[in-house]
Amino acid sequence: MRRAAVITHGKPETIGAALRRLQAVAAEVGVELLFSDEEVEKHGLAEAGDGDEDADLAVVLGGDGTMLRGLRRFLGTGVPVLGVNFGRVGFLAGIEADGLEEGLRRAFAGDYRVVDLPALDAETAGERWAAVNDLVVTSSSLGRMIELGWAVGGEDLGVQPCDGLICSTPSGSTAYNLSNGGPVLVWGLEAMAVTFVAPHSLHARPLVVPRGRELTVVNRTQDVSATVLVDGHAVDELPPGREVTTRLGEQHSLLATLPENTFFSRYRRIFAA
């Protein structure tokens, strides 16, 4: 391990002490830290931003939102992303805040494992996006229900009145998908979960879709547009009759974690305790 990129929580006053702890460990073991221009400005660092393209590992200081930003930044680059949890849940983080020094010493020595997490490819009218966590289609008018037609693998599954629809990856299945009653997808699965938000039906159930099957969602509402969100960011509007398609793509996020901090140990600690 020679070089590690650093991504931190958005508020420097919240994460500054943790950054200093990271810098001390890196200096102790001879690992060079790489900071983007954004991180240099955020923390008032003396050094210039070196970029992070040549990193061997990315270290994230923050919660799951910061981890998502790190996974998106290094999607498809081959750089594993290791999180130190300074958030509320921290399901994606491989090290807890009070174990920063020991955990990073181990990681910098190569004592970590990498989990491949598939991302989504989404497309509307020729525009394409990659989603690490999820794609969401929701009403563009607050409080207005929409009607969404949906099909999987070209087979029509009808029209569902609802507040929206979530299509999530395994890494995203423990986020917005889970809070709406969707299934948790164990890391290692090549599948996506489809879950309706507040469906106006007693029979709407989440669906797990394997790789190779495409999800098509059409706005069937007569007078309300739908908004498409990728990893929480609005990217497009669907007027009545317009559709978005999504599928598991070829790119993967690489999530680094200490060997003992497995998916099931995290699940038990956070969700089953």
Active site residues: 64
Give the residue among 237, 194, 235, 187 at the shortest CA–CA distance from 213.
Answer: 194
Range list of β-strands (E), the chain: 3-8, 32-34, 57-62, 81-85, 95-96, 113-124, 127-131, 134-139, 146-152, 155-162, 164-168, 191-197, 207-210, 215-219, 226-230, 233-238, 243-257
Could you give phi then psi for residue 239, rounded to 5 degrees? Answer: -70, 170
Phi, psi of 195 (to 5 degrees): -135, 130
Question: How far, rounded to the nearest angstrom, does the alpha carbon of residue 198 sit from its chain's CA centroid?
Answer: 22
